[in-house]
Amino acid sequence: MVSRRYLLSSLLIGTLHAGCLLLVALDLGYSVSPSNYGVVGLSWRYGGLVVVAAIPVWLALRYRLVAPLVAFVVTTGYVLGMELTPPGPTFRDVAELEGLAEPTGSIVVENGLYIIRYMINASVWTVGFLFVGLLEYAIRTRWNRLPDVSPPISWLSISAPKRRAVGIAALGGLLHAAVMVWFAYRLGVTISGGFEVLLYLYGAIGMWLLAAIPVYLLVRHRLIAPMTLLTIFVFRDVQAEFAANPDGPHAFYFGSWFIFLSLVLVVGGVEYGFRQVGNY
């Protein structure tokens, strides 16, 4: 009964969050009314604004995990602050940004559309908030000086048995891969030569590995640094979409995932070495 109340409260707050952002967007003149979208588009955009708020709130109410809620509040506050404070939106041709002589007709918007981009990319932000929650859970489970998570999550033990850790890592990798493949598709990430299917298959495998390995190292071996670095990568990737830049970083993140994976493994090795030396 208590769990149901927490769920309903989270959904209510998520709905209020979506409503407030949409009202601000309409007041700014953005085309976000229901008539502008089909059923699927409307559900994805409006539902994303509900879920991106509901999950951090639910984690705070149900498990007393504070970090995802703080990250969500900071992100939403940033979005509203950028929309409601000067300067207003500026429309610029891509040719101006790239130094081309002739206009291209492709327009980007600076100092605006923050709510629109937040709404469209809500699934990526949600994954970031979930990763923050997993990190907080692991840290509070590991260090006795911090308050324990109450109640503990029965299937998420730190250090987990190998089989369970593999399952959790596989699930985390699948979530990250699904969202990042969709993100790449939405941004139009492509490759010359008609090898798009191979590109997305390659990227999907990389996105899965890039998340599954840090999650496994966290829940099985209590290595904090790899998961922390992955979470930073996710937030940096999606936050860059607020900027009016025709060359966003996601294509590099998606196509050159092995570089990011190498960095994750390096920091994991460094942390493991310090732990061996410090015997903790």
Per-residue pLDDT reduced to its tens digit, 215-258: 999 999 999 999 999 999 999 999 988 875 656 788 899 999 99
- Specify the higher pLDDT residue, 186 or 70: 70
Tokens linked to 39: 């059923």
**Residue 93, strand partner residues:** 107
In Å, what is the CA distance from 149 to each residue of 59, 144, 249? 11, 11, 35
**Which residues, 6+ apart, have CB-to-CB distance to 50 below 8 Å?**
11, 14, 15, 17, 18
Q: How confident is the model at residue 277 (pLDDT cuts 50, 70, 90)?
A: confident
Q: Name the DSSP letter for residue 193.
A: T
Sign of the CA dihedral running 180, 229, 241, 93: negative
State the Cα–Cα distance between residues 1 and 161, nearest whole angstrom: 31
Per-residue pLDDT reduced to its tens digit, 121-180: 999 999 999 999 999 999 988 777 777 787 788 888 888 899 999 999 999 999 999 999
End-to-end Cα distance, the chain: 40
Task: Give the number of other Cβ atoms within 10 Å of residue 167's Cβ.
Answer: 15
